[in-house]
Amino acid sequence: MITWINASAGSGKTYYIIQKIKEIKQSNTNKSKSILCLSYSNAAASEMSERVDSESRKNTSFHTVHSFCNLALKDKSISVINEKESEALINKAVDISLKSNKFLEVVSSFYDESNSLFQSVYEAIKKNIEFKKEFLTKEFPEWNGIKIDKKIIDSLSDGGKLEINLMNSLLYEKCHMGGAPIKSLLTDSGQIRKRLYSSAWKIRNPFSAYFIDEYCIKVFEYVQKKKTFDAYQKSVAITSWVNCIKDNYENLKKESSVLDFNDLINNGIKFISESIYSDNIDVLGLDYIFVDEAQDLSEKQWEFIYALFVKVFNSNPNVKLYVVGDSKQSIYGFQGSSVYVYEGMYKKMQYFAEENKIKFATEVLNKSYRTSPVLLDYIDSTISSTSCKSKHSPVHEFSGRVEIHEYESEKATYGWNIKKANESEYLNKCLRKVIDLQGCNLFSENRGISFNDIMVLTRRRNSELFKFVEMCKSNNIPVKKSLFKFGSEEIVQELVSILKFAIYNDDFSLASILKGPFFKWAERDLLEVCSRRKGSIFDSLNKKNDKHSKVIKTCSRWKKLSFNPVDFYGNLLFSDEYGKFLLQSSFYEIVIEFWNKVVEFTKNNIGSPMMFIEWINGLSESFCSKGEGISISTIHGSKGLESKIVILLLNDSDIKKQKIIFQDGMMVWPVDNPLYMTSKNQRMFDENLENERLLYVALTRPVEQLYIFVKKGSSAFYSDIIMSSSREFKNDNGVLYSGSELTKRNKDCIPV
């Protein structure tokens, strides 16, 4: 029997599984039955294990898919590395590949501040994506232009300024097809310009006008072919580079006798398919299999679970499988999960049941044991226009409140030009809300609101959230939990890159520094150096060039510093021109905290620069208070959690699109051509659906109060969805709200 349970947020899916296990164990005929519970996360597996009673725990095991596959690992001399250790090995694999000029130039030509290329590489390796090893050879497109008759040139020479410019472009193109004057014929986006000549000239010279139109179409077609050819060549180069990194990564794992999480799953599939039995696992003795958090599983993890179930079923046709998940909460696409895989597995299990004449049942859990009816009404209304459309039934009757604070988008400005005093207005309002809530009571309990009751959520970790944490500290608001990795801050990464460059003369580190806020090199500046260099980027700089000269002088100073972290950064931040620049910028707070981390590291470790780099990159949390405090998290990090009060910060500019796309065994170079645009449109469609699911997860975290700060703008993704469901809200000085008014704290209602 297979039972597929669709469990909405807050519907008690863990309770459902625990009760099923208890029912099984309470039956006299089932007491000795063997039960396996698999989940995606350690947190879910631990929660289930802790909540079952001792009697139900007999012959019942709780594992993540990875930990269960680890039991099948027969060679105990091989260890399993965690995600951080895997990233460290990938970094080494990247460094090895960049020692080849063949790959360094193509990497340098794509480098930008967001590190989107390297993010794509890490994603490809973590997802274990298979890429082509061999590629079709394409010939460079030849220019088959149209001969320009002298009469055409003469007719243009008799025209005005517009026609003269066009004539010069045509004369140039005869000898230099693909040169700069193409811009006179085509727009920046590559389309034919609408006004190449005046209407009066066209009336006088209809044949010449027709010829020019046809000529521009030829130019347009050639440019498109050349773009496609260039994109294909670069896609091949990037894909070859990734394959090289993957090979290096595999070799490094073999040398170190380690496996990563992908290897564990592959090993588990092999264990099942080849009937390689382990003393730690008796899969054929299983009677019940529960799969929790099913929507978060990757395609490979599902492959293992399906193989496991089929193997057990062939030995014991009475085995029962329970799959618990919710497609509305599938938000880990960057880790390999997919709604398409989840829904595809539903159909695959259904087909298996039909073929083997066993029962396939579905259940829906939509009662909310978490959230106030006021919030559920708003959630249902908001998601009604999205792919997450659903109807929740409230169990509780306590009141609630929803507020929407819409703020204007600030003018674009570079972060390093924003002065410290100019804090974002909406962050000030958010901070004010946290402070004001301390004087009020909860709806769901007879007590006052404490900092512990508040969770702040954001789409992604960014500098504004780091700033918000600092603002909390400045106002004596404790932060109990923060899931923003300090070592991943952009300016922290730049400070680390400076140390790496000073020690190793590392080209990639220097490239990232040059593109940063201090040197502010454009893409063309870096390409210019890379295109003519014979050695490293630094050694190829020209002392006579003012821009290059500044880099040479600055980097030469850095190379002379002591590499002991406290000495190096002490001089860099407090004596060097670079440090003075940072301390006067909006990065001030992060830089000071970075210095505190340097001092902290030096107190407890020897002064090894490489140990420091690994340590700072591995910092998982920042600004955490062990006692009372608000929680700050990304929406991804909050999944499975709940809080009495949630403050949701939605900034559509946080929704970033990766530039490189995986398609048909290649990493497709981002340029306007049919292959890329088709892939891009599909990816954007999938990302928009995942953003809708992210919103659903965020809206379903609070128990009784939800405060949303959203950027104003009719074209904004989140703004449209949020505002469309607030038409019936009341308006209080620009703040839209629904639900009950909060009451002020009194002596009998105190925080705990």
| Model pLDDT for residues 409-454, shown as the tens digit of each residue | 554 443 333 333 334 778 888 999 999 999 999 999 999 999 999 9
Local structure of residue 286 (DSSP, 8 states): -
Name which residue leads in pLDDT, 666 or 321: 321
Instruction: Give the side-chain half-sphere CA count within 13 A for 515.
Output: 22
Closest to 637 measured CA to CA, from 121, 43, 164, 67: 43
Q: Is 8 annotated as a binding residue?
A: yes
Contacts of 744 (CB under 8 A, 6+ apart): 439, 440, 441
Residue type, 246: K
Ranges of CATH 3.40.50.300 domains, the chain: 2-78+261-365, 373-480+629-739
DSSP string, 390-433: ---EE------EEEEEEEPPPPP--GGGS-TT---HHHHHHHHH
Confidence of residue 189 (pLDDT cuts 50, 70, 90): low
What pLDDT sits at residue 417? 37
Query: Of how many residues is the chain composed?
Result: 752
* Cross-strand bridge partners of residue 7: 365
Of the candidates 663, 672, 680, the one whose C-alpha atom is nearest the C-alpha of residue 228 is: 672
3-state secondary structure of 206: helix
What token pair was written down for 642?
């709940």
Q: What is the pLDDT of residue 195?
A: 77
Average pLDDT of the residues in 237-249? 87
The C-alpha atoms of residue 213 and residue 200 are separated, in whole angstroms, by 16
Q: Would you say 11 is a known binding-site residue?
A: yes
In this predicted structure, which of 115-119, 285-289, 633-637, 736-740 has the lowest mean pLDDT? 115-119
Q: Provide the total of helices (H) and of strands (E) in the chain, helices listed first.
A: 27, 20
Check residue 600 and give its pLDDT: 83
Of 69-73, 226-230, 435-439, 687-691, give the range with the top mean pLDDT.
435-439
Q: Which of 275, 262, 243, 254 is nearest to 303 (CA)?
A: 262
- Mean pLDDT lowest for which of 434-443, 464-473, 480-489? 480-489
Which of 81, 76, 100 minimizes the C-alpha distance to 253? 81
Residue 37 bridge partners (DSSP): 62, 290
> Tokens representing 480?
């109990």
Token pair of 630 as six digits: 């608000």
**CA nearest neighbour of 327 among 595, 690, 682, 41:** 690
Question: In the prediction, which pLDDT does 419 show?
Answer: 35
Of residues 507 and 502, the one with the higher pLDDT is 502
- The CATH-assigned architecture of domain 2-78+261-365 is 3-Layer(aba) Sandwich (3.40)
Instruction: Print burial letters for 137-149: b (CB count within 10 Å at least 16), e (below 16).
Output: eeeebeeeeeebe
Lowest pLDDT segment from 101-115, 225-239, 352-366, 732-746: 101-115
For residue 678, say whether it is annotated as part of any ligand binding site.
no
Q: Edge-to-edge, what's the strand order for the sheet holding 2-7?
A: 60-64, 35-39, 288-291, 320-325, 2-7, 360-365
Asked if pLDDT for residue 178 goes beyond 50, the answer is no
pLDDT on residue 131: 74
CATH of the domain spanning 373-480+629-739, picked from 3.40.50.300, 1.25.40.10, 3.60.21.10, 3.40.140.10: 3.40.50.300
Instruction: Please indicate if the annotation marks 157 as binding a ligand.
Output: no
Kindly report the CA angle at 648 between 642 and 653, in degrees rounded to 5? 135
Surface-to-core class of residue 170, CB atoms within 10 Å of its CB (0-12 exposed, 13-18 middle, 19+ buried): buried
More confident residue, 203 or 464: 203
Q: Is 12 annotated as a binding residue?
A: yes
pLDDT, average across residues 247-251: 92
Residues 349, 329: Cα–Cα separation, whole Å: 20
Cα(372)–Cα(642) distance, rounded to whole angstroms? 13
Give per-residue pLDDT as tens, 623-681.
444 467 899 888 988 888 999 999 998 876 555 554 667 776 777 766 666 667 777 78
The H-or-E segment that residue 480 falls in is strand 479-482
Token readout for 20 is 């099923």
Check residue 752 and give its pLDDT.
44
Read off the pLDDT band of 31 (50, 70, 90).
low
Lowest mean pLDDT of 21-25, 238-242, 409-413, name the range.
409-413
Among 57-66, 214-223, 284-293, 662-671, the minimum mean pLDDT is found in 662-671
What three-state secondary structure class fits 210?
helix
With bands split at pLDDT 50, 70 and 90, how would you rate the model's confidence at 328?
very high
DSSP labels, 1-59: -EEEEEE-TTS-HHHHHHHHHHHHHHSTTTTT--EEEEESSHHHHHHHHHHS-TTTTTT
CA distances to 72, 170, 271, 349 from 310, in Å: 17, 69, 13, 10
User: What pLDDT score does 183 carry?
Assistant: 61
More confident residue, 222 or 300: 300
For 485-624, give the CATH class.
Answer: mainly alpha
Residue 14 labelled as part of a binding site: yes
Q: Based on C-alpha coordinates, what's the Rg of the chain? A: 30
Q: How many CB atoms lie within 10 A of CB 517?
A: 18
Annotated binding-site residue? 626? no
pLDDT of residue 609: 83
Considering only CA atoms, which of 514, 516, 512 is closest in space to residue 525?
514
Q: Please state, in angstroms and rounded to a whole number, the distance separating the CA atoms of residues 62 and 76.
A: 21
Higher pLDDT, 423 or 690: 690
Beta bridge pairs of residue 708 = 404, 648
Percent of the chain surpassing pLDDT 90 = 30
Q: Which carries the bigger pLDDT value, residue 426 or residue 106?
A: 426
- pLDDT higher than 90, residue 288: yes
Residue 278: the pLDDT is 53
Average pLDDT over residues 187-197: 72
What is the average pLDDT value for the chain, to the nearest integer?
Answer: 81
Q: State both tokens at 43.
A: 């947190």
Flag whether 88 is marked binding: no
What is the per-residue pLDDT for 11?
94
Summarised one tens digit per residue, pLDDT across range 123-144 is 777 777 777 776 666 666 666 6
